[in-house]
Amino acid sequence: MKPLAQIQIGKNGISENLIKTLEDNFKHHMNVKVVVLKGAGHYKEKVKEYSEEILEKLGKNYTSKILGFTIFIKKWRKKVR
């Protein structure tokens, strides 16, 4: 299993296609790095909103950490309560 995959959020924001791509990446990677581009709204508050929305759509098995304009998402084997 590879340790890290990378995805970018552009001007379209978070779509169902992005969520599906994230789920597919978690089949082969332990962590996914999501980079928020300028066209997607390059504001700290917007990055936090994106992180919360992604976690809401993925489910409870995932956690995130925000560093600048990058969101690191990790999938846990056991469900997080």
Task: Measure the CA–CA gap between 62 and 30, rounded to whole angstroms.
Answer: 11
Distance CA 38, CA 61 (A): 29
Tens-digit pLDDT profile for residues 33-56: 999 999 888 889 999 999 999 999
Q: pTM for the whole thing?
A: 0.88
Q: Rounded to whole angstroms, how far apart are CA atoms 19 and 45?
A: 20
Residue 7 has phi, psi (to 5 degrees) of: -135, 155
- Could you tell me the domains of the chain? 2-75 (3.30.110.60)
In one-letter notation, the amino acid at residue 70 is T
pLDDT at 3: 78
